[in-house]
Chain A
Amino acid sequence: MIRFENVTKTYRRSSQPALHQISLEVARGEFVFVVGQSGSGKSTLLRLILCEEEASSGNVMVAGRELARLPRRKVPALRREIGTVFQDFRLLPNKDVFQNVAFALQVLGKSRHAIRAVVPETLEMVGLAGKEKRLPHQLSGGEQQRVAIARAFVNKPPILLADEPTGNLDPTTSLDIVRLLDRINRTGTTIMMATHDDGIVDQLRKRVVELDEGELVRDQMRGVYGGQR
């Protein structure tokens, strides 16, 4: 589903590469934790998949597309196959829960009928049934992240990227959020989650990819945060 072949990314005005010679393959339906310290290259890895950045060298393949050869006008079509969740939720403060989730479908031109059918179903799946009319500031951090996940997943993308989705949440809520992502993963969605949270990585025992100063230093099935065990 996602493949990196000797990918290096060096940002302009930076002498050190953010990612260096990364080769990695993620199969359809996998759940991968990307771990590493701040500045290790986790976010850059996700940004390359999203076509937010271009690799300086090497190939990135996502959902059958070679990103280096993908014309700009075809990038939106690629992004429709990728849901994204961030640490800061990125909700629209003047729209309620339903409208925030519906927004993702409205901008893609989905019919009102389809939106009315899909949004409540997705909200129920993420555990927000009955809270459709709440505004983001009336929700807890965990609930806001659920709205963000609902928005990322409402279009049923085959890939879901999560960049530190539990960074602003307490440990219990974090675990709830990761369990939700795990449930989404069981529907067949490939999930890549960048995190610092050792507790949840250790608890879920999924594949762990570790980056250190842009180098891939560990790729372990059923891994833990710090390696070994």
Chain B
Amino acid sequence: MRLQFILSEIWVALRRNLSMSISVVLVTMVSVLFLGLGVLTQRQVDTMKDYWYDRVQVSIFLCTAKSDLPNCSAGAVTALQRKDLRSQLDTMKPLVKNVFPESQQEAYDRAKAQYPDSSTYRDIKPSQMPESFRVQLSDPTKYEVITSSFLGAPGVADVQDQRRVLDPLFNLLRGLSFGALVLAALIVLCSVLLVATTIRQTAFSRRRETGIMRLVGASAFNIQLPFILETLVATVVGSALAVGLLWALVRNGLGYLAKLLPVRFITTADLWAVTPWLVATAAVLSVLTSWLTLRRYLRV
């Protein structure tokens, strides 16, 4: 069939079945929107992880005079112990990327700056704050190497990995994004069923045309093509609307949050990276659904 004829037939059919076309557009929009939200949440979690893992450190707290931890029974860390710990850290490059020694005074100043109104730090003195080595790792997942090497070493009170604090948050976010994907899968299933029903109804309402096409010897491909293309057009329009909504959300919603919170958020670049996959998934699903439905309900 000629392209112009196909396009004119599609235009007429979309107009004639306007309510059905709109329903396919809307349900595609909602399902692609949820699919996009699920995928973008995953990317947001990854972005936050990269951002925070770059900043998380393993803290090796050293014994103070008043430490009551079992490893500190010998009293405060000595200069020799401190020197040994530092040189041991230096031998662990490249896993150890940077080492920031933090004195008791610096620890006190930082705590005061971070929690100015906290009652915990109101009456505390610098000598009560632990001195530490803040260790930045090239691969934050290998924090256990540091823990096993330094926990229990002379002069070390405790080894703490900040990832342990952040991981529950990331797990929660991952759970949410997984939930969004499950919801998206359910909505995609709804949209597949709706497309199948719509195609069935359209095929029934156009049985006269298809009957004539069949009688004059049009091939199965030619008879099915307009139906498939109609669904594809509606799907692409629905996907485009969903991408538009996601764009508005990322640009305005997250753009606004990025100004308020010290967190790196995904940008529209992340959206454009997933857009081809979102549209392609919607398009492939709609074409496949149309084709399978037509094979079953459109006699050729």
| Mutual binders A and B | yes
Task: Give the interface of A toward B (CB within 8 A).
Answer: 50, 72-73, 75-82, 84, 90, 92, 94, 103-104, 106-109, 111-112, 151, 155
Q: Which of B1, B208, B212, B219 contacts A76 (CB 8 A)?
A: B219
User: Could you tell me if B220 and A107 are in contact, using CB atoms closer than 8 angstroms?
Assistant: no
User: Could you tell me if A77 and B2 are in contact, using CB atoms closer than 8 angstroms?
Assistant: no
Check B113 for interface membership: any CB of A closer than 8 A.
no
User: Could you tell me if B218 and A107 are in contact, using CB atoms closer than 8 angstroms?
Assistant: yes
A73 to B218, CA, bound (A): 11
Shortest distance in angstroms between B138's beta carbon and chain A's nearest beta carbon?
61
Counting chain B residues whose Cβ lies within 8 A of the other chain, the interface size class is: 20 to 34
A99 to B61, CA, bound (A): 87
Chain B contact residues: helix, strand, loop or mixed: helix
User: Could you tell me if B212 and A80 are in contact, using CB atoms closer than 8 angstroms?
Assistant: no
Contact residues in A for B216 (Cβ distance below 8 Å): 79-80, 104, 107-108, 151, 155
Residue of A nearest to B216 (CB): A104
Tell whether A90 pairs with B1 under 8 Å between CB atoms, given A78-B217, A79-B216.
no
A-B contact pairs, 27 of them (CB 8 A): A50-B215, A72-B300, A73-B219, A73-B220, A75-B300, A76-B218, A76-B219, A77-B217, A80-B217, A81-B217, A82-B217, A84-B215, A92-B208, A92-B209, A92-B212, A94-B12, A103-B209, A106-B1, A106-B5, A107-B212, A107-B216, A107-B218, A108-B218, A108-B222, A109-B1, A109-B2, A112-B4
**Pairs A-B, 9 closest by C-beta atoms:** A80-B217, A79-B217, A107-B218, A104-B216, A76-B217, A106-B5, A76-B219, A107-B213, A84-B215
A131 to B213, CA, bound (A): 23
User: Could you tell me if A76 and B211 are in contact, using CB atoms closer than 8 angstroms?
Assistant: no
A151 to B212, CA, bound (A): 10
Residue of A nearest to B213 (CB): A107
Check B214 for interface membership: any CB of A closer than 8 A.
yes
Additional pairs, 11, CB under 8 Å, beyond known A78-B217, A108-B217: A50-B215, A80-B216, A80-B217, A90-B211, A106-B2, A107-B1, A107-B212, A107-B213, A109-B222, A112-B2, A151-B216
Number of A-B contacts (CB under 8 A): 59
CB contacts under 8 Å to A, within B187-234, are 208-209, 211-220, 222-223
Residue of B nearest to A50 (CB): B215
A73 to B222, CA, bound (A): 12
Residue of A nearest to B218 (CB): A107
Max chain A C-beta neighbours (<10 A), residue from B215, B219, B220, B223: B215
A interface footprint on B1-21 (CB within 8 Å = 1, 0 otherwise): 110110000001000100000
Contact residues in A for B222 (Cβ distance below 8 Å): 107-109
A76 to B1, CA, bound (A): 14
Residue of B nearest to A104 (CB): B216
Contact residues in A for B209 (Cβ distance below 8 Å): 92, 103
A111 to B2, CA, bound (A): 7
Residue of A nearest to B211 (CB): A90
A90 to B214, CA, bound (A): 13
Contact residues in A for B4 (Cβ distance below 8 Å): 112
Contact residues in A for B218 (Cβ distance below 8 Å): 76, 107-108
Contact residues in B for A107 (Cβ distance below 8 Å): 1, 212-213, 216, 218, 222-223
